[in-house]
């Protein structure tokens, strides 16, 4: 993996829902679900920027996300190689949204993507983010992902965004511990907090 000091770190997490409200399991499959939120934290070595993308227009949400991703960024997430990034790529194919960069998702590859779950378990054992965060004294989440479907369909997009950012922040702290890096989120100024693209979007 290239030196971390010379790269932007982009921690990400997605929230998904089923396209069929009565079948919540569809949220786990890009054929039957969609992305409703992408949470990001960008650490450029000086500033830490948090941003969420939530939009009723999934095509616009995905396009806005790729607009902030730079070619040399290291993409970081928990189970991001098996779920988040493949789901984003599949939804981009379905909606004809061309990503701003190619991302290699092959197994054991860490130059473009750092998956905290896979690094911890050496691609052999899965671990929940909450359990890993607790073991590394990085904290735990306070929300529950089972609520995302209800929040989305009731229009409580701010709750979806905040829950997503909880995962992002915890993943960032875990990543820092695994790489013996300081948690710059607590030391550096937050150049932006939650920025949502949905504030003016009609719910009808």
Q: What is the pLDDT of residues 30-40, one digit of tens each?
A: 999 999 999 99
**Count of all residues that appear for the chain in the document:** 204
Q: Which residues pair with 40 in a beta bridge?
A: 12, 51
Q: Which domain holds residue 94?
A: 4-192
Structure confidence by residue, pLDDT tens digits, 16-63: 999 887 787 889 999 999 999 999 999 998 899 999 999 999 999 999
The CATH number assigned to the domain holding 26 equals 3.30.420.10
Q: Does residue 204 form part of some domain? A: no
Cβ atoms of residues 111 and 102 within 8 Å: no
Q: Does residue 151 form part of some domain? A: yes
pTM of the model: 0.89
Domain count for the chain, please give it.
1
Residues in the chain with pLDDT values less than 50? 188-195, 198-204
pLDDT value of residue 94: 98
Cβ atoms of residues 18 and 26 within 8 Å: yes
pLDDT value of residue 110: 84
Q: Does residue 103 form part of some domain? A: yes
Q: Is 116 left (phi over 0), alpha (psi -120 to 50) or beta?
A: alpha
């Amino acid at each position: 993996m290239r030196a971390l000091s010379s790269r932007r770190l982009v921690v990400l997490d997605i929230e998904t829902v089923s396209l069929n409200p009565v079948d919540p399991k569809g949220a786990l499959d890009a054929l039957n679900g969609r992305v409703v939120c992408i949470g990001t934290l960008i650490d450029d070595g000086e500033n830490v920027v948090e941003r969420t993308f939530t939009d009723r227009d999934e095509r616009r949400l995905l396009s806005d996300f790729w607009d902030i991703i730079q070619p040399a960024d290291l993409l970081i997430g928990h189970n991001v190689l098996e779920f988040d990034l493949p789901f984003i790529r599949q939804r981009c194919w379905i909606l004809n949204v061309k990503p701003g960069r190619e991302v290699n998702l092959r197994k054991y590859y860490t130059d473009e993507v750092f998956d905290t779950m896979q690094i911890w378990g050496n691609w052999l054992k899965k671990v929940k983010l909450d359990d890993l965060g607790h073991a590394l004294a990085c904290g735990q989440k306070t929300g529950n992902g089972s609520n995302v479907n209800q929040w989305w369909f009731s229009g409580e997009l701010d709750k979806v965004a905040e829950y997503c950012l909880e995962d992002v922040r915890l993943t960032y702290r875990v990543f820092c511990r695994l790489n013996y890096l300081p948690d710059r989120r607590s030391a550096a100024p937050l150049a932006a907090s939650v920025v949502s693209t949905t504030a003016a979007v009609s719910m009808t």
